[in-house]
Amino acid sequence: MPVFEYKALDRRGRKKTGIIDGESLVFARTKLREKGIYPTTMVEVGSEGSGGGNGSDSSLAGRFLFGRISNGELAMVTRQLATLLSAGFPLISAVSSLVVQTRSKPLKKVLSKIKGSIEEGKSFAESLAMYPSLFSAIYVNMIRAGESSGTLELVLERLADITEKREETKKKIQSALAYPLLMALVGSLVLLFLLAYIVPGIISIFSDMNQTLPGPTLFLIAISSFLKRFWWVVILVPVVCGVALYVMAKNERGAYLIDKFLFLTPKLGDLLKKISAARFSRILSSLLANGVPMMTALSISRATAGNRVISAIISRVSRQVEQGGELGVSLGAERVFPTLAVEMIKIGEKSGQLERMLEKTADLYEREVEGSVTTMTALLEPLIILVMGVVVGFIVLSVCLPIFEMNQLVK
């Protein structure tokens, strides 16, 4: 059903804006007038393509650029929908209530389109699948499993928990890294300014004296001269490297090599393995607990892994499980996931409580990731200060050494 965005006046002449669905523009105008709202302009947001999911998503893609839907908004709507369904609201009534309550215009438009799709006879999962850029494969498949099993409100609660937990972890990592990265950036800019503009003025005094200068001072002069003439190189090189990495990451082979290199990096590699173990365990646990078959759950986990190396491992493990192998044994043979995670999965398989052990594994490694990030950032701050102190100390020493030598000559 088409959705229209309108600007209107109410009976008191106050301006109103919003969206409304209707079979046609005339029908939508009539609905508004019945509510005492008189539209001045109405524009159709988009119409559902006959080609299925991808068509609708692409028709709204350009509009999403003007207002992205955050994971926080998605988690809140999911939680509200679960609450309404638990209170006995029919699905269409619950979605209609969310359309009225939601303040985000992009999300309001999507919910209106989903409501219209359900009214036309599509299932909730099929309606969500029209927007793959917003609703992931795990989200859609869990909804489909909830609809078929009659536990949709429980599945929505679970999805809200997963989305909120992921967003919370992401924000913790970002906030923990923000201060050290800001320190490193500001410190680098200050040192660049010192070496390119302040130091040359001081060093020129010694150069004019035709005196043999110490090695550290000569080295500082060379660095300062280079930065003064080619300061743009220092800025250009990181930009070029960043663009090269971006282009490389867009290529499947290049992205795989980047992910593999990161896994081999000391400390960072261990952290990434823990993040991957937590993500894989959380997704697989949620899917299996909601009745999704093992092979389908592994396929979704592979698609949502967020890491090419892990995706390739899950793909190989899936083939072995399909041939009758055990999940824990197959994961252990890859030697990428932490040993404890593999052992917990093996115990879950043997005890018949795989979903529960996967959930415990996810909880364990999510806590470990938070602890590791906190430790790494705590070490980063003094390390940055130490590096800056060493560089500033070298500059001071290089400037002071000629002064000490001149002082000795005078004596």
pLDDT digit string, tens, across residues 16-34: 777 776 667 777 778 777 7
- In-domain check, residue 121: no
Show the domain range for 338. Answer: 268-370
Helical spans, DSSP H, in 22-134: 25-34, 53-64, 71-86, 91-101, 105-119, 124-128
Q: The tokens of 319 are what?
A: 């083939």
| pLDDT on residue 407 | 65
| pLDDT on residue 316 | 92
Region 320-333 average pLDDT: 90
Cα separation, 326 vs 101, whole angstroms: 47
| pLDDT on residue 370 | 82
- In-domain check, residue 317: yes
Give percent above pLDDT 70 in the chain.
Answer: 89
Between the alpha carbon of residue 228 and those of residues 122, 132, 196, 197, 222, the distances in Å are: 66, 50, 5, 7, 10
Of 33-42, 115-124, 294-303, give the lowest mean pLDDT range: 33-42
Average pLDDT, the chain: 80
pLDDT-derived band at 64 (thresholds 50, 70, 90) equals very low
Q: Which residue has the higher pLDDT, 317 or 205?
A: 317
| pLDDT on residue 360 | 92
- In-domain check, residue 15: yes
**Distant-in-sequence, close-in-space partners of 157: CB < 8 Å, separation ≥ 6:** 79, 82
- In-domain check, residue 30: yes
pLDDT for residue 287 is more than 90: no
Region 223-230 average pLDDT: 80
| pLDDT on residue 408 | 65
- CA-wise closest residue to 400 among 195, 226, 213: 213
SS3 category, 49: coil
- What pTM, to 2 d.p., does this model score? 0.65
**Angle separating helix axes 308-322 and 327-334, nearest 10 degrees:** 140
- In-domain check, residue 98: no
Between the alpha carbon of residue 317 and those of residues 92, 292, 311, 330, the distances in Å are: 40, 17, 10, 6
| pLDDT on residue 11 | 76
Q: How many helices (H) and strands (E) does the chain have?
A: 17, 3
- In-domain check, residue 285: yes
- Write the CATH number for 360: 1.20.81.30
The string of pLDDT tens digits covering residues 165-191 is 778 877 877 787 788 888 888 888 888
pLDDT-derived band at 232 (thresholds 50, 70, 90) equals confident
Number of domains in the chain: 2
- In-domain check, residue 256: no
| pLDDT on residue 3 | 65
- In-domain check, residue 263: no
